[in-house]
Structure 1
Amino acid sequence: MKRSDFIKSGAALVGGAVLLGNDTMAKETYQHKDNVFKLDYAPHQGMFSASAGKNFVDEIKYMYDLGFRSIEDNGMPGRSVDEQNKIGETLAKLGMRMGVFVVPKGGNGANTLAAGKQEHVDIFLKGCRESVEVAKRVNARWVTVVPGDYQRNLPLGVQTANIIEALKRGAEIFEPHGITMVLEPLSDTPDLFLRYTDQTYEICKAVGSPSCKILYDAYHQQKNEGNLINLMNMCWSEIAYVQVGDNPGRKEPTTGEINYKNVFKWLKEKGYTGVVGMEHGMSKAGVEGEKALVNAYREVDNF
């Protein structure tokens, strides 16, 4: 779908809403093209495909029209070089930023960095080198790393040291290119080694590199530890990237228990100018879900 077509399609949706008596909803959703958000929220592919179509470049342009100024794409390394270049060129023309993508095999249950095995470290470092080339094409500054699962036959301190040593090697690859790997503590399974903010803070301090920092995902940390603002504040010097999703459900803000208006106000007052990744699903499907998504971010961005 051409950009002009889906913008016209959006306008038609507004007109239809007016005819149906939903004028307020239409205005809230579609009349913010020049109204950039206070924080730099970054959607993923598919969040606006009902209006923009399946082509990611077209969807990025549509995101820009809605007021977004960054994107995320965890699977960017899996896209063709040609598509990566097109995405990078589009972002550059629009003045948008590329958020995180995931380092290929950057640590998982099959090759956990906690094990201290050279073959696992080699896989990780290969992913780091590949990520540098991808980052150049899309002008990315941050890449996600998850160190993997516990190696439960080893003492916890030895596992931690193994991860630190592997991350030091990764940081050596990223530092010359100004790229920061951001470590993400997760809540998906208790087998994961990295789960808490202070634990990640300790590891980043030990690595001691500007290319090794924390990716703070408020959804995961609400599940793991709560006390979001206080823990972010204590570990702030090592937090380089933020992602969000409400809990329970991992949908857009306002669908769960997290007071994102307060969280975002705190981030703004803290001087955070980085990306806020929209790392979540949507509570509704189709165009209705897209409207709900934008309206939710308008609400919590109004602090």
Structure 2
Amino acid sequence: MVFGVDDPVDAVATAADLGLDAIEFWGIDGVDTEALRERCAEHDVAVSASTCLGVAANTQGEGPGITDPSLHDEAVDDIERSLELGREVGVDALVVTVGPEQDDLPPGTEHRAIVNVLRDAAPAAEEAGIDLVVEPLNHPVDHGGYYLDSSYEAYEIVDAVDSPAVSVLFDIYHQQITEGNVIQNLTEHVEFVGYVHVADVPGRHEPGTGELNYERIFEALDDAGYDGYVGLEYAPVDDAAETVEHVYDIAP
């Protein structure tokens, strides 16, 4: 879930107290990596994911992104810098967000640019033992103008890159808003899914506060053979510990 703390190191104990076995961060640039590793070891909490740096971390519909082929080298460098920092922390996955649509370029340019960046960054990710998970985001509510909103295009990108270190972050909140049909879209190509985020719709709060049947979604995900992390990327309305207990109650 989303913790309102200034120092990521301080969030580790909170996560452990809530019964979570891993924590993820919206960026670890500038974090005391040694202190973070020590705190995680102390509380037996893994760092499951963090966002990338620079061009590979744009969630908006404007500014630089890996959708711009002129920024290819910079994007690859930013991902490789992210991997170096991720190794210091011991992170399992790095989230790649692709940036804006390129309306002044020919159709298909963004797709090819993303594939080319991930393909060139993949060897470093494989060597580091860190997964690069590319994330589609919704347009209507949170990320207007962001290029990648379709889970199926994300699957096509990962298939084209063809690396064991590159997969899709399927955020159920975003994909419910964008396309619905969550269970089929998530499980039909589960072999391309490397990470899952959960939050209910509307509001981005804990499961049970909105329209999604998370008990059935978790069951379908388990039946499909998914065995990766499920990140609780929501802002709790109720007591945080109670929301975690509820998730454990409805998850297989």
User: Do both share a fold (TM > 0.5)?
Assistant: yes
Partner of 1:296: 246
* Cα gap change, 1:153 to 1:69, in 2 (>3 Å): same
Structure 2 residue 176 is the aligned partner of structure 1 residue 225: no
Question: Would the aligned equivalents of 1:44 and 1:71 in 2 still touch at CA under 8 Å?
Answer: no
Partner of 1:158: 109
Provide the secondary structure at the position in 1 that maps to 2:95. Answer: strand
Among residues 39, 47, 50, which one is paired with 1:98 in the alignment?
47
* Cα gap change, 1:44 to 1:250, in 2 (>3 Å): closer
Structure 2 residue 3 is the aligned partner of structure 1 residue 45: yes
Q: Distance in 1 between matches of 2:66 and 2:12?
A: 35
Residue 209 of structure 1 deviates from its aligned partner by: 1.0
Question: Would the aligned equivalents of 1:114 and 1:148 in 2 still touch at CA under 8 Å?
Answer: yes
Of 243-252 and 96-105, deviating more is: 96-105
Residue 220 of structure 1 deviates from its aligned partner by: 0.1
Provide the secondary structure at the position in 1 that maps to 2:176. Answer: helix
Partner of 2:92: 141
Partner of 1:28: none
Partner of 2:134: 183
* Normalised TM-score (structure 1): 0.74
Q: Distance in 2 between matches of 1:55 and 1:190?
A: 29
Structure 1 segments unaligned to the other structure (5+ residues): 1-42
Encode CA deviations 1:29-64: one digit per residue, 9 max, x unaligned: xxxxxxxxxxxxxx4433xx7xxxx76545423432
Question: Would the aligned equivalents of 2:171 and 2:198 in 1 still touch at CA under 8 Å?
Answer: yes
Question: Would the aligned equivalents of 2:18 and 2:241 in 1 still touch at CA under 8 Å?
Answer: no
Partner of 1:14: none
Among residues 17, 20, 23, which one is paired with 1:68 in the alignment?
20
Provide the secondary structure at the position in 2 that maps to 1:156. Answer: coil
Among residues 215, 218, 230, which one is paired with 1:261 in the alignment?
215
Q: Which residue identity does 1:104 align to in structure 2?
A: L
Question: Would the aligned equivalents of 1:125 and 1:169 in 2 still touch at CA under 8 Å?
Answer: yes
Residue 134 of structure 1 deviates from its aligned partner by: 1.8
Among residues 6, 18, 36, which one is paired with 1:87 in the alignment?
36
Residue 185 of structure 1 deviates from its aligned partner by: 0.2
Provide the secondary structure at the position in 1 that maps to 2:87. Answer: helix
Partner of 1:116: 69
Residue 279 of structure 1 deviates from its aligned partner by: 1.2
Question: Would the aligned equivalents of 2:168 and 2:192 in 1 still touch at CA under 8 Å?
Answer: yes
Q: Which residue identity does 2:217 align to in structure 1?
A: V
Q: Distance in 2 between matches of 1:164 and 1:290?
A: 38
Q: Distance in 2 between matches of 1:247 and 1:183?
A: 21
Provide the secondary structure at the position in 2 that maps to 1:191. Answer: coil
Q: Distance in 2 between matches of 1:298 and 1:200?
A: 29
Q: Which residue identity does 1:243 align to in structure 2?
A: H
Q: Distance in 1 between matches of 2:45 and 2:231?
A: 13
Question: Would the aligned equivalents of 2:2 and 2:235 in 1 still touch at CA under 8 Å?
Answer: no
* Normalised TM-score (structure 2): 0.88
CA RMSD of superposed structures (Å): 2.1
Runs of 4+ in 1 over 6 A off after TM superposition: none
Q: Distance in 2 between matches of 1:270 and 1:123?
A: 37
Q: Which residue identity does 1:249 align to in structure 2?
A: G
* Cα gap change, 1:147 to 1:230, in 2 (>3 Å): same
Provide the secondary structure at the position in 2 that maps to 1:146. Answer: strand
Partner of 1:245: 199
Encode CA deviations 1:206-248: one digit per residue, 9 max, x unaligned: 1111121100000000000111111112221110000111100
Q: Distance in 2 between matches of 1:159 and 1:291?
A: 41
Of 254-263 and 271-280, deviating more is: 271-280
* Cα gap change, 1:190 to 1:132, in 2 (>3 Å): same
Residue 98 of structure 1 deviates from its aligned partner by: 1.1
Query: Who wins on radius of gyration, i.e. which is larger?
Result: 1
Q: Which residue identity does 2:119 align to in structure 1?
A: K
Q: Distance in 1 between matches of 2:20 and 2:49?
A: 15
Q: Distance in 1 between matches of 2:82 and 2:132?
A: 10
Q: Distance in 1 between matches of 2:14 and 2:147?
A: 38
